[in-house]
Amino acid sequence: MAKFPEPPDVATLVAIPADLTTLPAGTELWRIYARGGPHPVLWNTFRSFGPTLGRFDHHFEPPRIQDRAILYCADSGPTCLAEVFQDTRTVDRGAHDAWIVAFELAEPLTLLELGGSWPTRAGASQAIASGQRARAQRWARNIYEAYPDVQGVRYPSSMNGVDPSIAVWERGASALPSSPEFHRSLLDPALLTPLRNAAADLGYGIV
């Protein structure tokens, strides 16, 4: 049996108890985002256009602007670096005016936990976090329909030692605070040493 098959239908998923992780208010999360380039955003912008290449984009096909929206973040800055720059394995500090932000949740955030046994019980495996992205998106769409109280998913990063990454759906938008705790450009000279250290730990280059 395939370790990462097509998702069960919504009715089948409804019958499978969800493994929920609730992050309490005050939990610190990190994100890297682009203030420039072809699609500039703010630190708390949820992307309503999709699906794109995001693993857990829950948007309907074909790609278009829609009510469903998503924001990707992680438990740590190094995991953000690992995920954002995975294609080139080089931390490009000047690309698209990239900024790094840390924020504390203003409200609890309820997520489907994909780092435990739920994927296996649902007929898949941990390949849901590393396998074909288009298929993972189809899983995300069915999960979204099957568990209406779930505000996103937490999954093991495939790029940084399975440290948690998080996809927050528009259902969880109210959990974001009005302002972040930490907010700096990757070109900030004060970040050069920690960025170099994080890149070295990942085996990435840095420019």
Q: What is the pLDDT of residues 82-137, one digit of tens each?
A: 999 999 999 999 999 999 999 999 999 999 999 999 999 999 999 999 999 999 99
**pTM, 2 dp:** 0.94
Q: What's CA 91's distance to the chain center, in Å?
A: 18
Residue 170 lies inside a defined structural domain of this protein: yes
Residue 106 lies inside a defined structural domain of this protein: yes
Predicted pLDDT of residue 131: 92
**Considering only CA atoms, which of 169, 70, 149, 166 is closest in space to residue 113?**
166
Q: 75 lies in which domain range?
A: 10-206
Residue 46 lies inside a defined structural domain of this protein: yes
The number of folded domains in the chain is 1
Residue 116 lies inside a defined structural domain of this protein: yes
Residues 156-202 pLDDT 10s: 998 998 899 999 999 999 999 999 999 999 999 999 999 999 999 99
Predicted pLDDT of residue 1: 53
Inter-CA distances, 130 with 59, 138, 160, Å: 19, 14, 12
Residue 1 lies inside a defined structural domain of this protein: no
